[in-house]
Amino acid sequence: MKIIKADDLSNLKECLADFGDNVLFRGQTEHFGTPEQPSATTSFDRHGCIPPEMLRWGRYADEILGAFTGQHSNLALNQAILQHYGFRSFYLDCSDHAAVSAWFAGNRYSDKQTVELCEDCDESPMFLRKKMASYDGAEGVGHLYVLNRRACENVGITDLTAIAIEGTRTRASVQSALLLGPLRNTPLPAECFLAHIEADCAVFR
């Protein structure tokens, strides 16, 4: 795997042009693993599972998503879609668009819990707990990983842009989103990584 340091935007574009089209990208504001071998693990591996919440949301999501995808009880597809909205899963985000992944290499995620008063179907009052997510420009060094698409196909690729809803622009389509996996208790294999590009977060933004 190549380790590349990009000094500015033009240098970054030159680096990316060398890899051609048959690659995928993943951006992060932090690097995990060794300099020569990144460690990319799923949210299940990092944070674990919350069975009561996962079961309830999984059942609810299956009913809602099935109406759009036409596929019910497809756990892998449901997880792949929900992963893109903060749900814990066995998948890793990536994109076939370098600019999308570069954005994630330049902006840091954060969230906070909020509570909202609403009502249920019987108009009884209830509190709704929400996690409000946001991204802010990060400081320091960002990390953009160039992935070998063929090696990633051996792991499994779910193309979320193929799930279209007429008359809308989904987050997945805007971000040219793909998901790698399912990865069950293992990091993304080393052969998937072609290069690790480091640059100031401002360059990636």
Dump pLDDT digits (tens) for 95-141: 999 999 999 999 999 999 999 999 988 999 999 988 898 999 999 99
pLDDT in tens, 158-175: 898 877 777 878 788 888
* % residues pLDDT > 90 (the chain): 57
Query: Which residues make Cβ contacts (< 8 Å) with residue 198, sequence separation at least 6?
Result: 3, 4, 5, 6, 31, 141, 142, 143, 144
Domain count, the chain: 1
Among 11, 22, 29, residue whose Cα is nearest residue 146: 22
Yes or no: say if 194 and 98 are a contact pair by the CB < 8 Å rule: no
**Model pLDDT, residue 144:** 98
Q: Which domain holds residue 31?
A: 2-204
